[in-house]
Amino acid sequence: MATSQPSLSNLDPADELGSYRTLSAAAVASFALGLLSSLSFAPWRALWVVPPLALLFGWLALRKIRKAPEEWTGKRLAQAGMVMAALFGISAAGTGYAETAVTKKVLRAVADRYIGKIQAGDIESAFWLTITSDERKMALDQFAEKGVKPDWVARYSQFQNTVFPFAQSLVDGEATVEYEGIEQIASDHGRIVGMVVYRVQTRENTSHLLVNPSSVQSVTTGEIGWYIKHWELNYTPKSSHIEPSGGGHGHSH
């Protein structure tokens, strides 16, 4: 039977509160950042903070909703954002770790090859490892047509004068060289550059040798190759740093 006044006895509190609860801004932020966490696979270091931010905003949203469920909503948004952030963040971190491990192996292999040539007293082969593949091809073409140009003679003579005393000490057994570690991997205008450090031991003292292998893309073939961009005797460990550029990222090890 109808009455003249409405009864409140059958009112469901959830129905009433559902119309008045405010959507948590932190929950929305967590969900949006969770979506953006997929960009964590990109090489830009700034994007690595996105997953942690999504988790932080999600946690803040859930805490606020838990404390005042009658005022705030957005629990599922926050949870979804946190799940996406965790999945993308962990996957990106694992991928980055694997890529770094492979890069470190390549850098060491390139540096070891260079050091091996010096240890064997093969200074000429060591010299050519400091030249990019395109430069080597150009030089060989020039040698075949016109003979060795004076500028190449000067470059080799300078390299030989620098390397020969060290190479001779290794050949004579007066010094030994051992791999110590990789201080840094960085991107320099799209090229991967590493800082590979070796320990040099003589009867008198211990010093260090720095080798900087670098990747380079061939202009003619498009293939990625490696060469020794720089090397330095009597290097002080952790005294220099490669500044990341070209949108890449650097790692310290």
**What would the 3-class secondary structure string for 5-41 be?**
CCCCCCCCHHHHHHCCCEECHHHHHHHHHHHHHHHHH
Q: What are the pLDDT digits (tens) for 109-142?
A: 999 999 999 999 999 999 999 999 888 888 877 7
**Per-residue pLDDT at 37 exceeds 60:** yes
> pLDDT confidence of 36, banded at 50, 70, 90?
confident
Instruction: State residue 205's pLDDT score.
Output: 92
Q: Which residues contact 223 (CB under 8 A, 6 or more apart)?
A: 133, 217
Nearest-CA neighbor of 115 among 251, 241, 183, 212?
212
pTM of the model: 0.65
For residues 93-112, average pLDDT:
85
Q: What are the pLDDT digits (tens) for 164-205?
A: 999 999 999 999 999 999 999 988 777 899 999 999 999 989
CB 175 within 8 A of CB 202: yes
CB 59 within 8 A of CB 82: yes
CB 55 within 8 A of CB 85: yes
| Average confidence score pLDDT of the chain | 83
Instruction: State residue 63's pLDDT score.
Output: 92
